[in-house]
């Protein structure tokens, strides 16, 4: 472990912090959005679903460009940031969280929406006939039944946030301890020809991605078997 300098450790900690905060926020706001998309009869809901899915297709630099404007002193960031005495949300950890939430949203919302759609109306109708309020039905029936989808969404959201690069570079820059996450750190190491550090981190990311995808596939298989 001596190979890892304190600087690298700071980047790792920061990355995990960013991914964890982003995942929690995404579960909190993504679940109601997924619920609404799965159950609303509104004809324009697919338009909303498309907006949520845009980051799948847009180059991160486009997203990053708009976010930079929005988070900067001339945008929304200039209104919110002064609340705690800052001038802008750009190039801050908070700004990165906002960017990651937008960028990883489709990866969290889609599996949760699928899970809510797959369960159909029946379990909720049954709950209602058993006097469960919509709130109780949601927590005691919908959420447990959608658990595989929630789990997939959380894992994908976390892993995708760990792996993002373009947006971070656009709105966060590379400030150690604040915005210098792993993917940016690798870029910096390569730029400054620190190949050893770069290859350690790159290999670490490959192992991380492998483990995440394998673990998720195995979990899904197990859940599918249990549901039979």
Partner 1 sequence: MNERHIIRVAFRGRLGRFDLDAAFALPATGVTALFGPSGCGKTTVLRCMAGLQHLDEGFCAIDDDIWQDRSSFRPTCRRPIGYVFQEASLFPHLSVKRNLLYGAPRDWRTPGSSGIGFDEITELLGLATLLDRAPRNLSGGERQRVAIGRALLSQPKLLLMDEPLAALDRQTKDEILPFLERLHDTLSLPIIYVSHDMTELERLADHLVLMQDGRILATGPLSELQSDPSLPLAVTRDAAVSLDSVVETYDTEYGLTTFKIDGARFVVPAGPEPVGERRRVRIAASDVSLARDPPRESTILNILPVRILSATRVNAQEMLAVLSLKADGSGPRLLARVTRRSWEQLGLAKEAAVYAQIKSVALAPATKP
- Per DSSP, the three-state class of 228 is coil
Using the CB atoms, write b or e for 62-98: b if 16+ within 10 Å.
ebbeebbebbbeebebbeebeeeeeebbbbbbbbbbb
Rounded to whole angstroms, how far apart are CA atoms 45 and 43?
Answer: 6
181 token code pair: 């996450």
The residue among 62 and 128 lying less far from partner 1, judged by its C-beta, is: 128
The residue among 87 and 147 lying less far from partner 1, judged by its C-beta, is: 147
Q: What string marks each residue from 116 to 155 as x (binds partner 1 by CB under 8 A) or -?
A: ------xx-xxxxxxxxxx--x--xx--xx-x--------
Distance of closest approach, residue 108 Cβ to partner 1, in angstroms: 22
Distance of closest approach, residue 129 Cβ to partner 1, in angstroms: 4
Site for partner 1 in 68-107 (CB under 8 A): none
CB 100 within 8 Å of CB 164? yes
Q: Does 42 bind partner 1 (CB under 8 A)?
A: no
Distance of closest approach, residue 131 Cβ to partner 1, in angstroms: 5
The residue among 40 and 133 lying less far from partner 1, judged by its C-beta, is: 133
Distance of closest approach, residue 133 Cβ to partner 1, in angstroms: 6
Q: How many residues does the chain have?
A: 228
Chain residues binding partner 1 by CB under 8 A are: 122-123, 125-134, 137, 140-141, 144-145, 147, 227-228
């Amino acid at each position: 472990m001596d190979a890892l300098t304190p600087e690298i450790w700071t980047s790792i900690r920061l990355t995990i912090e960013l991914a964890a905060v982003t995942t929690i926020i995404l579960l909190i706001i993504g679940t109601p959005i997924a619920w609404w998309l799965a159950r609303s009869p509104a004809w324009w809901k697919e338009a909303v679903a498309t907006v949520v899915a845009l980051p799948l297709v847009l180059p991160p630099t486009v997203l990053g460009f708009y976010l930079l404007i929005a988070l900067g002193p001339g945008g929304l960031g200039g209104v919110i940031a002064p609340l705690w005495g800052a001038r802008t949300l750009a190039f801050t950890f908070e700004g990165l969280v906002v960017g990651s939430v937008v960028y990883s949203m489709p990866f969290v919302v889609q599996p949760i929406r699928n899970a809510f759609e797959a369960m159909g109306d029946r379990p909720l109708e049954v709950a209602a006939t058993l006097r469960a309020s919509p709130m109780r039905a949601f927590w005691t029936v919908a959420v447990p039944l959608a658990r595989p989808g929630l789990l997939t969404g959380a894992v994908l959201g976390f892993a995708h946030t760990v792996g993002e690069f373009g947006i971070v570079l656009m709105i966060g820059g590379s400030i150690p301890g604040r915005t210098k996450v792993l993917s940016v750190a690798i870029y910096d190491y390569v730029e400054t020809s620190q190949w050893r550090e770069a290859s350690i981190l790159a290999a670490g990311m490959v192992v991380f991605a492998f483990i995440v995808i394998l673990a998720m596939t195995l979990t899904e298989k197990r859940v599918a078997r249990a549901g039979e």
